[in-house]
Amino acid sequence: MSISDIVILFLPILLPVGLAIFRLFEQNLPANQQTALKEYVNTAVHGIEQMFPTRPGADKKSQAVILVQTMFRNAGRKLPDTWLIEWAVEACVHEMNMILPPQVPPKKDPVAISTGPLPVPPTQSPQD
């Protein structure tokens, strides 16, 4: 058995292993980390907003940051800095608020302003 036979024999095994190693390193590249950050932050912010709509903004922000960190750990990805996650959460919340329709202020009671009798022009000419 020559070396070329060995290479041909192990080539079907080496290609998937090499591809798996490449995918592992690719996950830690900045572009993929940024894509994952956007995806995780979007999921976390929308989930927190739906689950806890009445909580203060600071509580929801801290919960979203913790949830994003947990998502990165569970996916086995490199965890970005906390300030970067907080920035992404703020950006997602701002984007979400820009999409919402503006809230109409409550209707006030109409104010009746009386200025006295309205002048009415004469409809008939005076008769002699």
pLDDT reported for residue 48: 92
pLDDT reported for residue 41: 92
What pTM was computed for the model? 0.59
pLDDT reported for residue 47: 93
When computed from its CA atoms, the radius of gyration of the chain, rounded to whole angstroms, is 33
Place of tokens 């912010």: 45
pLDDT one digit per residue (tens) for the chain, 128 residues: 788 788 778 767 776 777 777 677 666 667 778 888 889 999 999 999 899 888 888 899 999 999 999 999 999 888 888 988 888 898 888 888 877 777 777 777 666 666 667 666 667 666 65
Q: Are the beta carbons of 92 and 45 closer than 8 angstroms?
A: yes
Cα distance between residue 44 and residue 61, in whole Å: 10
Place of tokens 């998502």: 71
